[in-house]
Amino acid sequence: MRRLICAAFFIVLALFASSSEGESQTIKVGAVVPLTGRYAALGGQVKTGYELAVQHINAAGGVSVGGKKMQIELTMLDDESDPTKTVARLETLATQGVVAYLGGAGSDLHGAAASIADKNKIPYLGVAFAFNGIHQQGLRYLFSPFPKSPDLTRETFVFLDAMIPAAQRPRKVALFLERTDWGKEMGSGWQALAKKHGYEVVASGEYAPGSKDFSDLILKAKTAGAEAVFALPSPPDGMTIVKQMKELDFNTKVNLFIRAADPPVWSQNLSKDGDYVLLSPGWHFAAKYPEVSEINDAHQKLLNRPADPLVGPSYACLQILADAVTRAKTIDRDKLRDAVAATKMTTVVGPVRFRSDGTGEVKVFFQQWLKGKQELVWPKEFATASFGYPAPAFSQR
């Protein structure tokens, strides 16, 4: 009898241990974000978006998984804006049993991360990168509810054509292209579409990220009579370009700086010289979609301002993940991956579906710095201000 009791005890203990190890009590999600380094200003916004979404989802009871409510457990690591560290941090998270990855900011960091997600067969949701080339590598676990280069270059001309009468459009364009794969991709897209829409690229040049002197690019564009500049610099490079454009008295009617003008530090550092610059960060807090007001309220309490532009897309990643888990009825990684691929829902950034290559079918937003504020100028149905065109000369601001 004593032997039977002991045997029964150890069987129950073993079953309890097996159950504890086999059934996760939370949905473990891992994020690698640049909280320091050259992308820190962008990474900070992404971090806030992830954290607000987790807070809101968990406060509402969590995520339904096969009839059971589970909380999201988010672990976030800093890659210091270094792709090598991005890879190392993702591998660390994989050993901790995460069922999904969330990405950081910057195409080079996402490029390093996406292949690791496929290697580890962990679904990866990433925003704050527009490089389409990453999605052309046959990766199955990469998903991005964020505009890509083909979307941005196409919408550039759709926006200008819609907002400016034909006789007043800036027909001569200069391209300032970062010497990266994404720079080449955006430059190729702008070049291909310019002529179709009646624009002429009169100057195009490359520069190394982190450059301190952009005078050669600026002077060539000025000499060529460029009336618009299209560029995609990091925030530090973009601020340097604007300062040197002012110093060299290069005044254009339109300045589109993808990525550079996203963070609040843009206006803090440049003041009125940073006005009239267009940006396209994937979202604006004035978008009339469900839960946007809740994000703005929470962000206002946290940072004393409405939500920053990258907060929305980052928040949407958790909405998509939660929806996918609910539909999959499991946190099995492969089934979760298939559920994410089948996404068809409205998030804080609007309707989202994924193409077969993992790129998202999403709306493109254009903001413009006006009087020290990021105003939404496109799409027109959500606009918070009229498009400031033409931009006045620096000396007249």
d(CA 173, CA 158): 15
One domain for residues 230 and 372? yes
One domain for residues 272 and 335? no
One domain for residues 373 and 250? yes
Residue 15 covered by a domain: no
For residue 13, the model assigns a pLDDT of: 38
- Is residue 378 a contact partner of residue 386, using CB atoms and an 8 Å limit? no
Residue 96 covered by a domain: yes
Q: How many domains does the chain have?
A: 2
One domain for residues 326 and 221? no
Tell me the pLDDT tens digit for each residue of 142-175.
999 999 999 999 999 999 999 999 999 999 999 9
pLDDT bin (cut points 50, 70, 90) of residue 12 is very low
Tell me the pLDDT tens digit for each residue of 121-144.
999 999 999 999 999 999 999 999
**For range 237-263, the mean pLDDT:** 96
Q: Can you read off the two tokens belonging to residue 328?
A: 């999959």
Residue 13 covered by a domain: no
One domain for residues 310 and 331? yes
One domain for residues 255 and 390? yes
Alpha carbon of residue 385 to chain centroid:
23
Residue 9 covered by a domain: no
pLDDT bin (cut points 50, 70, 90) of residue 20 is very low
pLDDT bin (cut points 50, 70, 90) of residue 268 is very high
One domain for residues 385 and 291? no
Does 279 have pLDDT greater than 70?
yes
| 257 phi-psi bin (left φ>0, alpha ψ -120 to 50, beta other) | beta
Does 248 have pLDDT greater than 80?
yes
| 225 phi-psi bin (left φ>0, alpha ψ -120 to 50, beta other) | left
Q: What is the CATH number of the domain that holds 261?
A: 3.40.50.2300
Does 288 have pLDDT greater than 70?
yes
- Is residue 386 a contact partner of residue 393, using CB atoms and an 8 Å limit? no
Max distance between CA atoms of the chain, in angstroms, equals 99
- Calculate the average pLDDT of the chain: 93
One domain for residues 141 and 31? yes
Backbone angles phi and psi of 215, in degrees to 5: -60, -35
Residue 345 covered by a domain: yes
One domain for residues 130 and 161? no
pLDDT bin (cut points 50, 70, 90) of residue 24 is low
Q: Is the dihedral of CA 142, 145, 146, 149 positive or negative?
A: positive
One domain for residues 243 and 101? no
Residue 5 covered by a domain: no
**For range 238-259, the mean pLDDT:** 97
Residue 271 covered by a domain: yes
One domain for residues 111 and 238? no
For residue 328, the model assigns a pLDDT of: 98
Residue 4 covered by a domain: no
- Give the structural domain span for 49: 20-147+287-361
Instruction: Report the range out of 15-19, 90-94, 180-184 with the highest average pLDDT.
Output: 90-94
Residues 6+ apart with CB under 8 A from 136: 357
d(CA 106, CA 33): 10
For residue 32, the model assigns a pLDDT of: 98
Q: Which residues pair with 68 in a beta bridge?
A: 65
Tell me the pLDDT tens digit for each residue of 92-107.
999 999 999 999 998 8
Q: What is this structure's pTM?
A: 0.88
Q: Which residues pair with 231 in a beta bridge?
A: 176, 257
One domain for residues 96 and 163? no
